[in-house]
């Protein structure tokens, strides 16, 4: 009592505990139980619906909802997986609020270290908790929750298929390692699409170019993908001021050379050209390539030389490709073979 008097606010003690309706009414508890099981039972149905939509609804099908045009498959996938997750969440909350033990427990303060008896008590409490959750008496709850949690992983696993097909060598050769460049394809200005004539280029000049075949691609996605891989720069340097290895002697015309415009670090487009040093600087992370030395890296995080496109002129004096790129353009990827990349000292 004297201790109580020294406290600024007297200890009010615990309020009288009010029992929930489901604690005092067995019928209400059974009703809550059925509702929870019903929600968990909806999860397999929703997962099946997800799989049906994933495999059965065409990716380009549309759905008009409240006047808005939506992609049907994406919308239905979101709805089914979202509802399944919601069902599990609501069932867990309802279970905790209406069926799990509602007893108030007073915990006495004690030292930070747990004595062995305390650990034993924890195990005993755990046992009591399992008992209080009603899982032993109402077995479907545990099975339903475990089953629902297991099934909710299915949509996530199935969606992994959207990462694309396995990148076999044949598939890579047809996609990521192939560009629009081929023997005899003219180099054209990337804005006007006018072909580039060797005699029109001046020493020190840089032109952004693309293959002439790009303009004919009508499909927007194919056009952008084609351009992203085939974009090049064409530079003219004094032939006496550059190093041309024997293996690349006929890849250039009077000091006119062509390189991929895509940085080999992580793929930014590059065209910051320093005329005096012949260096090409990537604006993203400052990788610098020496265009007077087969595009080797002289600074920065890029690990590979800039791929060079072998070029020549046709009978009218226009620049054309001698072949496609001899190595894949752009950043590295796990399966890429780097043995054919040009390295300092190669001849
Ligand atoms: S993308 Fe060019 S340096 Fe990083």
Asked if 145 and 222 sit in the same domain, the reply is no
Asked if 282 and 261 sit in the same domain, the reply is yes
User: 127: Cβ–Cβ under 8 A, 6 or more apart, which residues?
Assistant: none
pLDDT digits (tens, 9 = 90+) for 70-80: 899 999 999 99
At residue 90, the 3 state secondary structure works out as helix
280: phi then psi, degrees, rounded to nearest 5: -115, 125
Residue 126: inside a domain, yes or no? yes
- Percentage of the chain modeled with pLDDT above 90: 65
Asked if 154 and 176 sit in the same domain, the reply is no
Asked if 179 and 140 sit in the same domain, the reply is no
How many Cα atoms within 13 Å fall on the side-chain side of residue 76? 22
Give me ligand 1 centre to Cα 300, in Å. Answer: 8
Q: Is 262 in the pocket of ligand 1 (CB under 6 A)?
A: no
Number of structural domains in the chain: 2
Residue 59: inside a domain, yes or no? yes
Residue 237: inside a domain, yes or no? yes
> How far apart are alpha carbons 65 and 59 in whole angstroms?
17
Q: Is 243 in the pocket of ligand 1 (CB under 6 A)?
A: no
CATH number at residue 236: 2.102.10.10
- Which pLDDT value is given to residue 14? 75
273: phi then psi, degrees, rounded to nearest 5: -110, 125
Asked if 122 and 247 sit in the same domain, the reply is no
- Which pLDDT value is given to residue 5? 62
pLDDT digits (tens, 9 = 90+) for 323-336: 999 999 999 888 88
Closest CA to 46 of 155, 150, 124: 155
Which residue in this structure is represented by tokens 């894949």?
328
Which DSSP state fits 342?
A: -
Domain that holds residue 25: 17-103+116-163
pLDDT band per the 50, 70, 90 thresholds, residue 39: very high
Give me ligand 1 centre to Cα 187, in Å. Answer: 25
Give, using CA atoms, the residue closest to atom 4 of ligand 1: 285
pLDDT band per the 50, 70, 90 thresholds, residue 69: confident
Asked if 130 and 80 sit in the same domain, the reply is yes
pLDDT band per the 50, 70, 90 thresholds, residue 4: low
Nearest ligand 1 atom, CA 285? 3
Q: What is the dihedral of CA 266, 340, 214, 253, to 10 degrees?
A: 110
Asked if 158 and 173 sit in the same domain, the reply is no
Asked if 226 and 193 sit in the same domain, the reply is yes
Residue 108: inside a domain, yes or no? no
Residue 1: inside a domain, yes or no? no
Asked if 126 and 203 sit in the same domain, the reply is no
List alpha helices for the chain, DSSP H: 2-6, 21-24, 26-56, 72-98, 116-132, 139-151, 153-159, 169-174, 220-230
Asked if 180 and 280 sit in the same domain, the reply is yes
Whether the predicted model's global pTM rises above the 0.85 cut: no
Sign of CA dihedral 83, 84, 85, 90: positive
User: 95: Cβ–Cβ under 8 A, 6 or more apart, which residues?
Assistant: 36, 133, 141, 145
Give me ligand 1 centre to Cα 284, in Å. Answer: 5
Residue 339: inside a domain, yes or no? no
Asked if 189 and 79 sit in the same domain, the reply is no
Instruction: Decide if pLDDT at 1 tops 60.
Output: no
Instruction: Decide if pLDDT at 3 tops 70.
Output: no
pLDDT digits (tens, 9 = 90+) for 216-263: 998 989 999 999 999 999 999 999 999 999 999 999 999 999 999 999
Residue 336: inside a domain, yes or no? no
pLDDT digits (tens, 9 = 90+) for 99-145: 888 887 777 776 677 888 888 999 999 999 888 888 888 888 888 99
State the chain's mean pLDDT as an integer. 90
pLDDT digits (tens, 9 = 90+) for 290-310: 999 999 999 999 999 999 999
Instruction: Decide if pLDDT at 209 tops 80.
Output: yes
Residue 68: inside a domain, yes or no? yes
What is the mean predicted confidence (pLDDT) over 192-206?
A: 94
Structure tokens at 141: 């709850």
Q: Is 265 in the pocket of ligand 1 (CB under 6 A)?
A: yes
End-to-end CA distance of the chain: 97
Asked if 150 and 185 sit in the same domain, the reply is no
65: phi then psi, degrees, rounded to nearest 5: -130, 120
């Amino acid at each position: 009592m004297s201790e109580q008097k020294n406290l600024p606010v007297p200890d009010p003690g615990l309020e009288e505990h009010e029992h929930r309706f489901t604690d005092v009414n067995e019928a209400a508890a059974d009703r809550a139980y059925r509702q929870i099981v019903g929600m968990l039972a909806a999860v397999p149905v929703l997962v099946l619906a997800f799989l049906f939509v994933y495999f059965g609804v065409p990716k380009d099908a549309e759905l008009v909802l409240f006047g808005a045009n939506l992609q049907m498959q994406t919308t239905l996938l979101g709805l089914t997986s979202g509802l399944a997750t919601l069902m599990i969440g609501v069932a867990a909350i309802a279970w905790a609020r209406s069926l799990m033990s509602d007893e108030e427990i007073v915990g006495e303060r004690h030292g930070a270290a747990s004595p062995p008896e305390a650990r034993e008590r924890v195990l005993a409490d755990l046992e009591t908790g399992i008992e209080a959750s009603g899982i032993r008496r109402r077995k479907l709850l545990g099975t339903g929750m475990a089953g629902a949690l297991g099934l909710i992983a299915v949509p996530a696993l199935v969606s992994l298929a959207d990462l694309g097909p396995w990148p076999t060598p044949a598939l890579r050769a047809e996609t990521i390692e192939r560009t629009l460049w081929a023997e005899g394809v003219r180099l054209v200005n990337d804005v006007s699409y006018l072909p580039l004539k060797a005699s029109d280029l001046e020493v020190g000049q840089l032109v952004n170019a693309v293959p002439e075949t790009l303009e004919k691609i009508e499909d927007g996605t194919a056009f952008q993908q084609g351009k992203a891989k085939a974009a090049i720069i064409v530079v003219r340097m004094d032939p006496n001021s550059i190093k041309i290895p024997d293996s690349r002697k006929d890849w250039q015309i009077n000091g006119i050379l062509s390189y991929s415009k895509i940085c080999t670090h992580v793929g930014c487009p590059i065209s910051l050209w320093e005329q005096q040093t012949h260096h090409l600087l990537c604006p993203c992370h400052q990788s610098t390539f020496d265009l007077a030395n087969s595009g080797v890296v002289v600074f920065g995080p890029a690990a590979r030389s800039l791929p060079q496109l072998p070029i020549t002129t046709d009978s009218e004096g226009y620049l054309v490709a001698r072949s496609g790129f001899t190595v894949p353009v752009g950043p590295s990827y796990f399966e890429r073979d780097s043995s054919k990349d040009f390295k300092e000292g190669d001849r």
